[in-house]
Copies of this chain bind each other. A is one copy, B any other.
């Protein structure tokens, strides 16, 4: 290799317009040449002065690149005789690497084949998780807020207050606040959550039992990882909260979807299935205060039946108190957690993402007293503690009364919107969708009328809505894949219409668009 031909032979070229500094460009190209074997061990490099001249760059650029390569052991300097490609580079390693560099001409195909052969792969759990449909995907398709289920009214949220609280906390944080967080969450926030749940949801809860999580899904994930063994059966409501699937799959649990009737999840059906399988379920996941997505309130009888089953079976009940905040008539039923006589088998979870705003990602678990210590240790081993940025601001938001005031305002707003949706539906959706009022929640389930159901499935109806710029997920999307067709409830066809985020004046026009989309040929 003659010195003159060094630059073209190695295809060195520097681009002064690129964001990467020149010395790093040269460093990278030389390193690539060494690793690919185009520059072999013992090869003497041109002097920095002559290389700089060839490359038309400053000598400092070349010296910088050489320095880095010397530091990293690619090059070595020999006193008085110049700079060489390091001889301590293991030759066998380098030759195995030949052909992987872009500029090389020989052997690329065979090396590529060898790399393919030993390509690492996802684990089985990873493959199962990756194969799940993304839960949020379908609700992000529309161009507006009509009719995204679970989306609150963002324009009504007091962001001015929220931003001020964040700024106030973090412009001058105590050293403690920045230094570390508590494993279970920021104590004042856990106190505020415990107070709120005790007063409003009749929970028996001390602040120590509250674990702050990054949303309901992470709460399920933590509970599933700690309470379940691979292969454990878990009763689920069907249709139900899709976000459960990932954490249960990851924990290796076996989901047992159970029909939901007018009193809630069918404990009888669960017992029958467990009997047939010869194994009792280890956990039931339920949303008794307002079943998601059907809106059924679990009857008192069914609640007691479920708790008795749990007591008999030594099973856990995971109570998802989904959107219990928005109740427009009557008083909410007390939570299961408060009904559990021993207070030792219900794990309760809630979330702020639906009540405040979705990207907040703050939820919580309330665990029985006996689980406080194991959950603390295990959580610390997995995540140390939840991020502190949001927690003190949220604690202040609750303590200063903003949370309660916001819930009250939204209750009035959302109630009016539900009424507007019902009124518009009565005017425009006859023969298409059937809606009934609901005492609580942020969406209605619109059953396909027999005339429409004769023409299309709820999946097709949802696609038509989407084509019209509306989001209206089909009930079937909340069912569990693999359930036996013909099982109770499998036939119900409907669309979820979220109304909370839709300004009242936009409701009727959106309903008219929906009617047109569903009426077409």
A374 interface hit (Cβ, 8 Å): yes
B387 close to A362 (CB less than 8 A): yes
B178 close to A170 (CB less than 8 A): no
Q: Mark A171-192, 1 if CB is under 8 A from B, else 0.
A: 1110101111101000000000
A427 interface hit (Cβ, 8 Å): no
Cα-based distance from A97 to B381 in the complex (angstroms): 38
Which residues in B have their C-beta under 8 angstroms from that of A226? 122-123, 125-126, 129-130
Of chain B, the residue at the smallest CB distance from A375 is B130
Count class of interface residues, chain A:
35 or more
Which residues in B have their C-beta under 8 angstroms from that of A328? none
A1 interface hit (Cβ, 8 Å): no
Q: Mark A268-287, 1 if CB is under 8 A from B, else 0.
A: 00000000000000100000
B164 close to A171 (CB less than 8 A): yes
B359 close to A179 (CB less than 8 A): yes
A163 interface hit (Cβ, 8 Å): yes
B178 close to A357 (CB less than 8 A): yes
If A90-B301, A301-B90, A383-B221 touch, whether A166 touches B73 (CB-CB below 8 Å) is no
B19 close to A229 (CB less than 8 A): no
Cα-based distance from A179 to B500 in the complex (angstroms): 13
Cα-based distance from A86 to B388 in the complex (angstroms): 48
Of chain B, the residue at the smallest CB distance from A340 is B100
If A118-B312, A159-B178, A361-B181 touch, whether A136 touches B382 (CB-CB below 8 Å) is no
Cα-based distance from A313 to B119 in the complex (angstroms): 8
A489 interface hit (Cβ, 8 Å): no
Which residues in B have their C-beta under 8 angstroms from that of A100? 341-342
Q: Report A340-359 residues with CB < 8 Å from chain B CB.
A: 341-342, 344-345, 357-359
A295 interface hit (Cβ, 8 Å): no
A374 close to B122 (CB less than 8 A): yes
Cα-based distance from A170 to B229 in the complex (angstroms): 41
A310 interface hit (Cβ, 8 Å): yes
B178 close to A157 (CB less than 8 A): yes
Partner of A130, one of B154, B344, B374: B374
B334 close to A72 (CB less than 8 A): yes
A316 interface hit (Cβ, 8 Å): yes
B377 close to A120 (CB less than 8 A): no
Q: Report A111-158 residues with CB < 8 Å from chain B CB.
A: 114-115, 117-127, 129-132, 134-137, 140, 151, 154-155, 157
If A121-B314, A154-B178, A333-B72 touch, whether A383 touches B215 (CB-CB below 8 Å) is yes
A311 interface hit (Cβ, 8 Å): yes
Q: Report A18-39 residues with CB < 8 Å from chain B CB.
A: 19-20, 24, 27-28, 31, 35-36
Q: Report A280-335 residues with CB < 8 Å from chain B CB.
A: 282, 299-301, 304-305, 308, 310-316, 330-331, 333-334
Partner of A67, one of B36, B115, B170, B331: B331
Of chain B, the residue at the smallest CB distance from A300 is B73
Partner of A120, one of B36, B140, B172, B227: B227
Cα-based distance from A280 to B6 in the complex (angstroms): 42
Number of copies of this kind of chain in the complex: 2
A434 interface hit (Cβ, 8 Å): no
A61 interface hit (Cβ, 8 Å): no
Min CB–CB distance A126 → chain B (angstroms): 3
A359 close to B339 (CB less than 8 A): no
Which residues in B have their C-beta under 8 angstroms from that of A342? 100, 115
A246 interface hit (Cβ, 8 Å): yes
Which residues in B have their C-beta under 8 angstroms from that of A387? 214-215, 359-362, 387, 389-390
Which residues in B have their C-beta under 8 angstroms from that of A170? 159, 162-163, 166
A469 interface hit (Cβ, 8 Å): no
Min CB–CB distance A153 → chain B (angstroms): 11
Q: Mark A246-270, 1 if CB is under 8 A from B, else 0.
A: 1101110000000000000000000
Partner of A301, one of B27, B88, B169: B88
Min CB–CB distance A200 → chain B (angstroms): 10
Interface of A toward B, CB cutoff 8 Å: 19-20, 24, 27-28, 31, 35-36, 67-68, 71-74, 86, 88-90, 93-94, 96-97, 100-101, 114-115, 117-127, 129-132, 134-137, 140, 151, 154-155, 157, 159-160, 162-164, 166-173, 175, 177-181, 183, 195, 198-199, 202, 214-215, 217-218, 221, 225-230, 232, 243, 245-247, 249-251, 282, 299-301, 304-305, 308, 310-316, 330-331, 333-334, 339, 341-342, 344-345, 357-362, 371, 373-378, 380-390, 393
The 6 closest A-B pairs by CB, nearest first: A246-B381, A167-B167, A163-B171, A126-B226, A361-B387, A129-B378
